[in-house]
């Protein structure tokens, strides 16, 4: 996982207790829509699951 991907996960985890980040926060922080942000999080989770299975 590269630093940008880790930053994305850390950001999502920080905002989780508050119901997730706002669309504006996602846009400012990562320059993407909430839909794309969610897609990237799902991709990263699948990657982490596959990686843990193969190790």
**In the predicted model, what is the mean pLDDT of residues 30-49?**
93
pLDDT of residue 25: 98
Provide the mean pLDDT of the chain.
91
- Residue pair 23/13 in contact (Cβ under 8 Å)? The answer is no
pLDDT tens per residue across span 35-44 = 999 999 999 9
Classify residue 24 by its DSSP letter.
H
Tokens of 4: 């940008």
Q: Please give the DSSP secondary-structure letter assigned to residue 31.
A: S
pTM of the model: 0.81
Range of the domain at 23: 3-54
List CB contacts of 41: < 8 A, sequence separation 6 or more. Answer: 8, 9, 12
Say how many domains are in the chain.
Answer: 1
């Amino acid at each position: 996982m590269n630093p940008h991907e880790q930053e994305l996960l850390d950001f999502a985890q920080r905002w989780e207790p508050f119901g997730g980040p706002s669309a504006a926060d996602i846009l400012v922080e990562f320059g993407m829509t909430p839909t794309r942000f969610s897609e990237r999080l799902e991709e990263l989770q699948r990657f982490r699951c596959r990686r843990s299975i193969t190790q």
